[in-house]
Structure 1
Amino acid sequence: MFTIWLTGLSGAGKTTLSALLAEELCRKGYKLELLDGDQLRGGISRDLGYGKEDRIKQVQRVGYLCELLNKHGVVTIVSLISPYRDSREVLRTKIKHFVEVYMKCPLETLLGRDPKGLYKKALAGEIKSFTGISDPYEEPLRPEITVFSDQETPHQGCEKVLQRLLELELID
């Protein structure tokens, strides 16, 4: 089994693409679990804040869940900002089939989208430690797939990921 790890700034389309991927893979008969950062924050990570150490712990916890689920035949799809490159690289060593999907989108586009109003609040100083504004986001150096979400539709991104999974012989 394998893990698809979608990383990118808030509003880049991680949740939308992960839902489309889940739908397609379920349709193909794969057992899967969708792990969304916002939902996990209300569950297994409700004790964590947004500082660097807590963000690293969040990635470690989710990575561990992926390892367990993959071991039991379940595909995992993760949509999590996961801003630190080193944390994601550690996952590559622990998860046998780790497929990193970088949801690349320019900050100016994200500022225009801002569906939750988070960028506006971060720029006003109302949110501390906001990735991409007051905290860093380290772009992946070698993702398996880069989806340019300001140029590609969610469906195009989904097709791109599915094609890469075929090339990697992870799906039929």
Structure 2
Amino acid sequence: MTEHIHPIFDRLLQRSDRERRLGQRSKVLWLTGLSGSGKSTIAQHLERYLYNNGFFAQVLDGDNIRSGINNNLSFSPEDRQENIRRIAEIARLYLDSGIITLNSFISPTVEIREMARQIIGPEDFLEIYINAPLEVCESRDVKGLYEKARAGQIKGFTGIDAPYEPPLHPALEIKTDEQSLEESVEAVFQFLKPHIELPKA
């Protein structure tokens, strides 16, 4: 069927046009880590922090993706991969729109994150490892997911009976058991700022 698709990208506004209008360079931050490590909380606070500093960002995380566009997917290995593939495609659309995208997903394997990197483009994909020990993540488990996983009520739960592969060479590592939320958000912002500022005219 793809032979009947004729992209018109060359006739559309370009990413650079949109970036100039928004006054920023678009990038994709990919926050990865165990459930409870602090990914979503950091992403939510960073989105507001960026807004308050004149940048425009959009958060994508499990709650707003799996309740909508990916609500037909399970947590099988195949569906997890498809979940991340679709997210990466959405993030690429935001990237082309000039928007900074903050992606907060466990994305547990090196392979699955590499797939996302290739879809988005290595030059625009910034992998952030939100690192916290398993016991700390369990202590923050307000949804009781770890308890259910340890009781066998949830199968294939990352960190319990499914593996998590930490990034080999993350662009940035944040250890949320060693610093406050405010310090974590500030660290990510300071790392990100040079990547998203337009060059001075």
TM-score, with length taken from structure 1: 0.94
* Contact 1:26/1:32 (<8 A) preserved: yes
* Alpha-carbon offset, residue 39 of structure 1: 2.0
Which has the larger displacement, 22-31 or 129-138?
22-31
Which has the larger displacement, 117-126 or 85-94?
85-94
- State the distance in 2 between where 1:160 and 1:68 align: 26
* Code of the aligned partner of 1:25: L
Aligned to 1:156: 183
* Contact 1:17/1:158 (<8 A) preserved: yes
Tell me, which stretches of 5 or more residues in structure 2 are unaligned?
Answer: 1-25
- Corresponding residue SS for 1:122: helix
* Alpha-carbon offset, residue 30 of structure 1: 2.1
**Alignment partner of 1:49 is 2:71:** no
Aligned to 2:140: 113
Percent of pairs identical after alignment? 40
Superposed, which structure 2 residues align to 1:59-138 within 5 Å? 59-95=84-120, 96-138=123-165
CA RMSD of the aligned region, Å?
1.3
* Contact 1:56/1:84 (<8 A) preserved: no
CA deviation map 1:45-72 (0-9, x unaligned)? 1111111111111111110001011101
Task: Indicate how the Cα distance of structure 1 residues 46 and 35 shifts in structure 2: closer, same or farther if over 3 A, else same.
Answer: same
Tell me, which stretches of 5 or more residues in structure 1 are unaligned?
Answer: none
